[in-house]
Amino acid sequence: MRVLDRYLLRELAAAFAAVLVVLALVSLGGLLADLLSKIARGKLPAALLVSQLGLRVVDALPLLLPLSLFLAVLLAFGRLYRDSEMAVLAAAGVGPRGLLRPVAMVALPLVLLVGLCSLWFAPEALRLSRAMIDAANRSLLVAGLEPGRFIELPGRHSVVYLAEMAADGSQFERLFVHAERDGRIDVITARAGELFQESQGEERYLSLVDGFRVEGEVGRDDWRLMRFERNDIRVPSAEPDAAGSESERSSSAALWRSGDREGRAELHWRLGAPLATLILVLLALPLSRTPPRASRHGQLLVALLAYILYLNLLALGRAWLASGDLPIWAGLWWVHLPALAVALWLLWREQRLPAPRPLPRLRSARA
């Protein structure tokens, strides 16, 4: 490897690592806030916080990696232009085409990684996330209830106490529930019970057997006492879209065999992720050119606007494919091909030497 290639590769790798860390921290903050909000509303068990956070990060990699590489190329080569290092390289005979080799050393492995994440890792992460949430719906242990402890149900203003519980967390004995809402108190006791889920739907219920229910308002004498043989209490269910839609969780092979429009739209979206990564790298090379005395972030703003436009067009095309407004054979190529053509044209214009200017004519002086 040439000394120049090692230098450019080191600059590009350092910029990529820095951008990826910053974007990952921002994404982790957003994902953590969303998960904590669902836990506070009782839509997700607190025991699944770390695992769900990790799985959702894997699902976000097909979007984080292309953007990180795009910004890394802009920042690394933009600094070389501002510090006049590119002018020195041009004087030594190294043009924009000479930058492709170190860029390819970083871009090609990342394109392969984005393809693996988009086609395999992300759907597997969503399926595993959904399986863990479904297991939480069927087990009181995963939902956070423990025998011998008073546990507050998030989002329900209720306190639950269980004396004994089965090993799988589905059945319990001697239950106590205290709930308060709008000044009214509701106390329920039961000898035994179990957790079950509707055969159709996402709702979970505690089925209580042989118990009492006392309901009333503090300070008033209109309390009601009821004895029941069986009483069902709804508990907070998991977030319906916490693990993506059915097409997002399906494997790429299943989407290829599928004939529905939503599945084909999801397949085009997955196939477009590695292609978009390559196109963004080619687009970042000419956009990174910055005059020595120009603003540091002026060209970066233009590049980010181009990235946002490209990503929004892909998302719009995905929605059109799923709704039937766009034929399946068109896919997302109507977005990728023009973007690739623009990137190649900018590279060609960057490589082309400017035409020489004609010398001005000198007027002959009269004697």
Vertex 347 angle, CA 344 and 353, to 5°:
135
pLDDT digits (tens, 9 = 90+) for 136-191: 666 555 555 677 888 776 555 778 888 888 776 677 888 888 888 777 888 888 99
User: Reading across the β-sheet that carries 158-165, which strands appear in turn?
Assistant: 150-153, 158-165, 171-181, 184-197, 204-217, 224-235
DSSP 104-161: HHHHHHHHHHHHHIIIIIHHHHHHHHHHHHHHHHH-TTTTT--BTSEEEETTTTEEEE
CA distance 11 to 106: 11
Residue 187: HSE in the Cβ half-sphere, 13 Å Cα cutoff: 7
- Domain extents in the chain: 3-136+243-351, 156-235
Low-confidence ranges of the chain (pLDDT < 70): 1, 41-43, 95-96, 136-145, 153-156, 168-169, 198-203, 235-244, 291-298, 351-367
In this prediction, residue 137 carries a pLDDT of 62
In this prediction, residue 341 carries a pLDDT of 94
CA distance 99 to 285: 9
CA distance 25 to 349: 37
Give which of 251, 157, 163, 235 is closest to 196, Cα–Cα. Answer: 235
C-beta of residue 275 within 8 angstroms of C-beta of residue 336: yes
CA distance 137 to 239: 11
Give which of 152, 129, 86 is closest to 292, Cα–Cα. Answer: 86
CA distance 350 to 352: 6
In this prediction, residue 279 carries a pLDDT of 94
In this prediction, residue 198 carries a pLDDT of 66
